[in-house]
Each structure stands twice: as C-alpha cells, then as structure tokens.
Structure 1
Amino acid sequence: MELSRLTTEQRNKNSMDLDQMSTAEMLHTINEEDKKVAFAVEKVLPKIDIAVNHIVPALAGGGRLFYVGAGTSGRLGVIDASECPPTFMTPKGMVQTVMAGGMDAFFNAAEGSEDSEQQGEVDLRARKLTKQDVVIGITASGRTPYPIGALKYAQDIGAYTISLSSNQDSLIRNVADCAIEVVVGPEVLTGSTRMKAATAHKMILNMISTITMVKLGKVYENLMVDLHANNFKLRERAKRTVSEVTKATYDEAEKVLIQTNYKVKPAIVMLEKNVTLQEAEEAIAQSDGYVRKAIDHFS
C-alpha cells in the first residue's frame, strides 16, 4: 500500500491503452512525456545549487563525492562517475559509485540487493568515508533501503548528504541535508522508473558533476582544458582547443602540446604568454589550477 501511493507507481492516464497503440502513437506518447522532464528539473534548480555549493569546497579540500544507488540509480552513478577522469582528469577516486550488488550488478540485475539498509552502510564504510566527503543517495521511489542506509551512516560520521528522488516527501529526504525531489509524474510504462525518472536523474547528475568541475578550474570558457588526451580523438580535440583559445595554428598547437605531453592548460598559458613549460606549470599551480588566473599571473 505504501508503494501504491507513490507518484512513480501511479498509472499514466495518457498511456492507458499503450498495448493497443501503433508504433507511431507509442513514440509520440513517450516523447510527450519526456518533454515534461526538463521542466521538472527546472523546478529543483535551487536545490541543485545548494548541493553543488557544498560539493565544490568538499572536493577542493580533498574530499570525495559518492553516488549510492541500486539498479538503474546505481548505473546512472557509475556512468557519471566514470566520465569524470577522461573528461576532467580527476584523481582516481574523487568521484565514485557505491552500487547495491557490487559492480557486477551494472551488467547483471541484482535488484534484491537493494533491500538492506545495513548493506548500504557496510559498502560505504568499506570506502573509508570521512566527514570531508559528500554522499548522494539516488532512488526514484525515495524509499530504497540501500541508499537510505548509506546516507544514515554518512550523517553519523558528519559527511554532507544529498538525496535524489522522484517523489515528494520521500523517506530518504529524512536522512539528507539537501533533498532533491524531481517529480516527473507517472511513467508511460507503470513503475518503469528507468524512463522519465532516470532521465531526470541523469540530467541532474550531469549538472552536478559538470558545474562542480567548472568551479574547480577544469574548464576555460566553455572548453575542456583538463581532458585526458589518451587517444586520437581526444588529442585532436586538445589541438583544436589550444588553437581556439590562443589563435595558434594547428601545427603550432601540436608542437606545444607535444612538449606538455598533451596537457592543455600549460599549452594555453605557454602560447598566450610566450613562457616556458616550467613557468606555465608554476603559474597554474599558484593559481590553483585555474587557467584564467594563470594567464593573468603574467599581466
């Protein structure tokens, strides 16, 4: 009965005859429902703002960001966390996911593993959580025991806690310092929160990680300047980025990037200020990694 009252478990009046629709009708119905997601996210932007403004100083001070979830929620955490090292060259472990059932559950459903609060605590405890860290518990229903247990433990040791759910007045909000409740309404396929709810959560996690990295100095203008250029595509992107910022030719950008081992930040400073690699790296270090400040250092 408790579950049946949740918005995420309600039937969607616009898809009551889903099994009788043509393919085109189903596509239209899903698309119309998906259009509602961005507007739902817009309503919780103030909460996301609060979350980011706690995460940034935590990471800047050596803390870590943990995503905790089961099933689809855990998988969303894995996707976002795994993109941080190649996109922003984050240190190993700065952003990580604790998933019910372990990482094998990413590929093989282990949905039964979500029913234990204690396991959520045990798995988070194993990561040696400290009060400098931040933990985000992700659960569409807002009542999943696994992330609730993790957030309870995080609060006990003084870590900042954030909940991300898709129901108003969710259970998990009671153990969160910041509760983000993005209500997208009933799913086209009843209870299938891998659809709108997961889309909303993916959008919010993208916002959180991207804005956090911008504020940590890993972006200059709107360009990735801390990317890990370890393949052809990313090396070419690094060259284009350096050329775009400094107006250097493709060949000039490549020549400097070879000197920096394809690190974009020092390459930009070297070309912008006509300084050596050592001087550029020293300026970046003194500017806490911010390219704009490093450039201004020579003004």
Structure 2
Amino acid sequence: MARASSRRSATYLWRGSSTVPDSSHTTRMNELIDELAALTTEAARDSVDLDTLDTLELVTLMNQGDQSVPVAVAQHAAVIARAVDAIVERFRRGGRLIYLGAGTAGRIGVLDASECPPTFGTPPEMVRGLIAGGPTALLTAVENAEDDDTAAAAELSELGLTDADVVVGISASGRTPYVVGGLRRARECGALTIAVAQNTDSAIGRIADIPIEVVVGPEFVAGSTRLKSGTAQKLILNMLSTLAMVRLGKTYRGIMVDLVATNEKLRARSVRTVMTVTGVPADEAESALDAAEGHVKEAILAVLTGVAPAEAGRRLEEAGGLLRVAVERAPSA
C-alpha cells in the first residue's frame, strides 16, 4: 500500500495541474529540456559508476570535488567585496538585506538571515529570508512554488521595499521564476539587486546590479544542486552578511562583540568575550556584564576605560557603534 501511495504522489507531482499534454505543453517541455541542457549545474560529471564504488571511495571522491568550491568562490572576491560595500552603504541608510530563493537556495538564505540577530545583535527585520512556498518549504519540499514568478514580487511589496534595501536573489540555475520575478520587482522599487548563481550569463545575473556567478562545475550527483552549488551559496552568503557586520563594527579584533545572550552557552561566551578583550578574570567580566545589562560592547568599554556603563553606551553611540573608535577616543585608553 505504501508503495502504491508513493507512486500516486509521484504521478501527481509529475503532471502537476496538467492531465493531458497538448502541443503547447510539448513545445514548452522541449524548450525547458534544451535550456537545462545548456546549464553547467545540470551537466553530468565524467563517467563514474558511483554505485560500483565502496563507501570510502565515495567519501574520498565527493570530498575531492568539494575542495574546488572555495577555489571557485575566491575567483570572484572583487565582486563579492563590491557587494559587501554596497550592502553596508544601504544598512547605514536604514535599509535591509533580503534574500530570495527556492528549495535549497531559499533555505540557505533563511538560515543566514535567522542567524544574524543572535550573532550580531541585529533586529530581526534587518536581514530577512524569503523562500518560495513560505515557511512550509523549510521542512517540506514545495517544488512547484518556484515556478510562480509573481509570488516573490508580492512578498516584497508586503515588506514595503524601498530604494534603501538590498535584495539578493539566489538560484543555482540562475533561472528560477520565483527569483527572477522578485529581482524584477526589486529593481522597479529602486532597491539594489544582487544575484548569486552557479551558471554564467544567468537570467538573474542579467537583471541584477551586481551578479555573482560562481561556476562550480557538474555536481557529484548530476543535477543535485544542494551539493557544490549549495556549498558555494553558503560561502557567499557567509561573506555578504558577516563582512557587512564587520564593516558596521559588530566585531572587535576578530571577536563578536554584539552577540545576544539568549541561552546559557551564549551567556558564557559573553563573559569569555569580555575576559578575552580586557584581560580581567571571569568574576569581573560577569560583574561588568551585569552592570551593562548584558551589552558586551558596553561592558568591554567600561572595563577598558573605567567609565560607567551608561557613559560607555553614550560613547559607543557617538562612535557610531564602533568599539575600536570609542576605545581610541577615550582619554584613559
């Protein structure tokens, strides 16, 4: 029974809403087949019968292929740096960073966005992730959702998109309709647009102000773009958000100093951060954090300069939130 049910489900997904293919359907299907055939992300690797290899051989072979991903990303360092600077400029204008994607690409965008508040103390609305199919698609595939080229545009309109915002469209193929439609809407609103794709001359790359097209070659399993393509997307998004936060002063000497202590581990990390930066023992670091109501940067500045937490907060505000600037300006630093 389970097998029959699974087969019925697969048949439904295969046909979608079309039950009797007509000539227009056949024409469209042939066009899509040709379009996919031209994509590097859809290509098959050199002939290797994976099912004939033992597990250690498979692990070794897959790992060898993965090592090419950071090398490919490194070749686009200049354009990634340009994107980071553009994001920082929009943040300073009060803008937001919004990721768009479907399937794996959408999940990676939502993941990056969701980790910014606890890591860097940002408000939840500062970095957002939109995925085709909505929150349900985070846990369950809603594959047909990516074909809706109006959904992302509607979602962006609901967010009240402005020209201070940045919209990053993520698509391994570079042709996902959900992402294409979203980027077009973003351009209409005057928002800065960035494309992250794993094919050159992609549809989203042609729309975007800043295309980041990192080609990682055929996947270990042909067409499974959650693999090397997904890894490349994660590396790029890591840089876009993290380096933008570094430029905004969310770190000091390579250490997170704007983290939000939402659990026991992060509370311990906050104490350790104050200890590492200032050199004081744990009890003094914890006392400084208590006085600063958990604000790591205020606690650090108070310890380093001897001022009260309220004064430390004022000095940080005058320094634009940059701890290094506040320390350098302090008479006793």
TM-score, normalised by the number of residues in structure 1? 0.98
Tell me how far apart the structure 1 counterparts of residues 174 and 264 of structure 2 sit (CA, whole Å): 42
Distance apart, 1:60 and its partner CA: 1.5
Tell me how far apart the structure 1 counterparts of residues 158 and 62 of structure 2 sit (CA, whole Å): 40
SS of residue matched to 2:270: helix
Distance apart, 1:174 and its partner CA: 1.3
Q: Could you say which structure has the greater relative contact order, defined with CA pairs below 8 angstroms and 6 or more residues apart?
A: 1
> Could you say which residue in structure 1 is the equivalent of 2:231?
199
1:54 lines up with 2:90 in the alignment: no
> Could you say which residue in structure 2 is the equivalent of 1:75?
107
Tell me how far apart the structure 2 counterparts of residues 92 and 197 of structure 1 sit (CA, whole Å): 27
Paired AA for residue 213 in structure 2 = E
> Could you say which residue in structure 2 is the equivalent of 1:298?
330
Paired AA for residue 177 in structure 1 = D
Which 5+ residue runs of structure 2 have no aligned equivalent? 1-33
Which one of the candidate residues 241, 245, 270 is aligned to 2:277? 245
RMSD value, Cα = 0.8
Tell me how far apart the structure 1 counterparts of residues 195 and 168 of structure 2 sit (CA, whole Å): 6
> Could you say which residue in structure 2 is the equivalent of 1:160?
192
Tell me how far apart the structure 1 counterparts of residues 166 and 120 of structure 2 sit (CA, whole Å): 19
> Could you say which residue in structure 1 is the equivalent of 2:136?
104
Q: Aligned ranges for residues 96-135 of structure 1 at < 5 Å?
A: 96-135=128-167
Tell me how far apart the structure 1 counterparts of residues 133 and 50 of structure 2 sit (CA, whole Å): 33
Paired AA for residue 277 in structure 2 = V
Structure 1 stretches of 4+ with a deviation exceeding 6 A read none
Distance apart, 1:92 and its partner CA: 2.0
Which 5+ residue runs of structure 1 have no aligned equivalent? none
Provide the identity percentage.
Answer: 48
> Could you say which residue in structure 2 is the equivalent of 1:39?
71
Which one of the candidate residues 35, 40, 47 is aligned to 1:2? 35
Cα deviations by residue, 1:23-62 (Å, 9 ceiling, x for unpaired): 1111111001001001000011111011101000101211
1:151 lines up with 2:183 in the alignment: yes
> Could you say which residue in structure 1 is the equivalent of 2:212?
180
Cα deviations by residue, 1:206-252 (Å, 9 ceiling, x for unpaired): 01111000111110111110000121111111111111111111111
> Could you say which residue in structure 2 is the equivalent of 1:20?
52
SS of residue matched to 2:67: helix
> Could you say which residue in structure 2 is the equivalent of 1:11?
44
Rg larger in structure: 2
Tell me how far apart the structure 2 counterparts of residues 282 and 119 of structure 1 sit (CA, whole Å): 44
Paired AA for residue 5 in structure 1 = A
Q: Aligned ranges for residues 273-292 of structure 1 at < 5 Å?
A: 273-292=305-324
Which one of the candidate residues 301, 307, 314 is aligned to 1:269? 301
Paired AA for residue 157 in structure 2 = R
Paired AA for residue 4 in structure 1 = A
Q: Aligned ranges for residues 205-244 of structure 1 at < 5 Å?
A: 205-244=237-276
1:260 lines up with 2:253 in the alignment: no
Which one of the candidate residues 57, 70, 85 is aligned to 2:117? 85
Tell me how far apart the structure 2 counterparts of residues 5 and 281 of structure 1 sit (CA, whole Å): 56
Tell me how far apart the structure 1 counterparts of residues 262 and 135 of structure 2 sit (CA, whole Å): 25
